[in-house]
Amino acid sequence: MTLTANLRAYYALTKPKVVALIVFTAIVGMFLSTPGAVPLTALCFGTLGIGFAAASAAAVNHVLDRRADAAMARTSGRPLPTGTLSTRQSLVFAILLAAVSMAILAGLVNLLTAILTLLTIIGYAVVYTAYLKRATPQNIVIGGAAGAAPPVLGWSAVTGQVDPHALLLFLIVFVWTPPHFWALAIHREREYANVDIPMLPVTHGIEFTRVQILLYTILLIPVSVLPFVARMSGWLYLVGALVFGGIFLCYAVALKFFPRPGLAMKTFGYSIVYLMAIFTLLLLDHYLPPLTGLLSGAA
């Protein structure tokens, strides 16, 4: 195998799109943690450390799910099912990423962030992937705590503590995760059934899952408003959160009452847009008032 092919395989092992979303929410957590500029050391090394940790967890996920991945159309092209990388190579790569992550966070950021990040890796790679994923149809709900941690990690990278406002960001991602992933699970229900993974559509049926997606989406709207209620954000965020939440709710209502082929994947796709939009709005709302004041003063 050529060097380029090897690098592409290792890159694919990190689930780059997932890691990008994780790192984005962590960076927003960093910026929201302070009224001014984020210290460059915390921003650069915190982002690197959290990113490497997310990539390590993704690589472990590939290793533990390699047999199921080989049997599913969505994942059969991954490096392990195709034989591009071996299990040993993948594990060594995951361990190296985790070690580098811990060294960066503990040595150049702070110990609390390193500990929380390590717990997140364990929560996703071991608790969720190795146990919960095959133990209960509530796997994505319980395991979603690991996926919701990055904003807290970003916040602690800057402040060295876990703030209640950071937990609001955690809560938004935590409640967002079930409707996000269950939409994909509906689309891939047969594949999950074939590999004996008890996703909600497999164990309780697609219709029941549609109801749960709708209920969680309804819950997500008031949860997304909490940063405004807690005076963590202003009107820009509130209006945007309600608009994007309303669109998400429309998808959930359509999925429940007017289902059609392809709608589940469209709902899944929009859920990603929604989360990125919500966190972007939080960031804009955090910095636009001072910018507006500066512009007014200059005029």
- Which ranges of the chain does DSSP label H, i.e. alpha helix? 3-13, 16-32, 40-64, 66-71, 87-104, 111-121, 133-135, 139-147, 150-159, 164-187, 189-194, 200-204, 206-229, 235-257, 263-298
Mean pLDDT by 10 residues, the chain (299 residues): 76 90 96 92 96 94 88 85 91 95 97 96 87 86 89 97 96 96 94 89 95 98 96 92 98 96 96 97 85 43
CB 135 within 8 A of CB 98: no
Report all structural domains of the chain as residue ranges with CATH numbers, in order of start.
Answer: 1-162 (1.10.357.140), 163-286 (1.20.120)
Q: What is the pLDDT of residue 289?
A: 65
What is the amino acid identity at position 153? Answer: L
- Start-to-end CA distance of the chain, whole Å, equals 61
CB 162 within 8 A of CB 156: yes
* Residue corresponding to tokens 């290792």: 10
Q: What is the pLDDT of residue 271?
A: 97
Q: How far is CA 139 from CA 108, 136, 195, 199, in A?
A: 34, 5, 15, 8
Residues in Cβ contact with 164 at an 8 Å cutoff, skipping those fewer than 6 apart: 230
Number of C-alpha atoms within 13 angstroms, CB side, residue 61? 25
Q: Which two tokens stand for residue 124?
A: 């996703």
- pLDDT, the chain, mean: 91
- Nearest 5°: the CA angle 11, 12, 16 is 80
Q: What is the pLDDT of residue 248?
A: 98
Q: What is the pLDDT of residue 154?
A: 97
Q: Which two tokens stand for residue 280?
A: 């972007």
Residue 90 CA to residue 27 CA, distance in Å, equals 27
CB 116 within 8 A of CB 8: no
Cα Rg of the chain, angstroms: 20
